[in-house]
Structure 1
Amino acid sequence: MARREEKKPLWQRLAWLALIWGASVLTLAAVAGLLRLFMSAAGLGTP
């Protein structure tokens, strides 16, 4: 059976987009921080 899709309001779709974007940026920052931590622990930091 085909279900009729109800389109959500624009502000709600944009809010989801912003939430997903923000979560991806924070995740990328966390991964970069961990890589930096491991590299400095291995002696690969900048002087």
Structure 2
Amino acid sequence: MSTKPSLHEIQQAEKKPLWQRLGWLAMIWTGSVVALFIVASLMRMFMNAAGLSTH
């Protein structure tokens, strides 16, 4: 298991520019949306191959 970050590590992370921290947030969000799209597309493809369709 990992240990809690030290006060020094937290202060170093807070010193990073806001744009950099928001950039990480945006990248993680975009990555999760893309991953969800891929999983949903694969599920739809397999369902269509099994004969299940919406129309």
Scaled by the length of structure 1, what TM-score is found? 0.86
4+ runs deviating over 3 angstroms: none
Aligned residues: 46
2:49 aligned to which of 36, 41, 46: 41
CA–CA separation in structure 2 for the residues paired with 1:4 and 1:37: 49
State the shift of 1:14 in Å. 0.1
Identity of aligned residues (%): 59
Determine which structure has the larger helix proportion and give its number.
2
> Mind listing any 5+ residue stretches in structure 2 that lack a counterpart?
1-5
Q: Which structure has more RCO (C-alpha within 8 Å, separation ≥ 6)?
A: 1
Residue segments in structure 1 that go unaligned for 5+ positions in a row = none
**RMSD of aligned alpha carbons:** 1.3
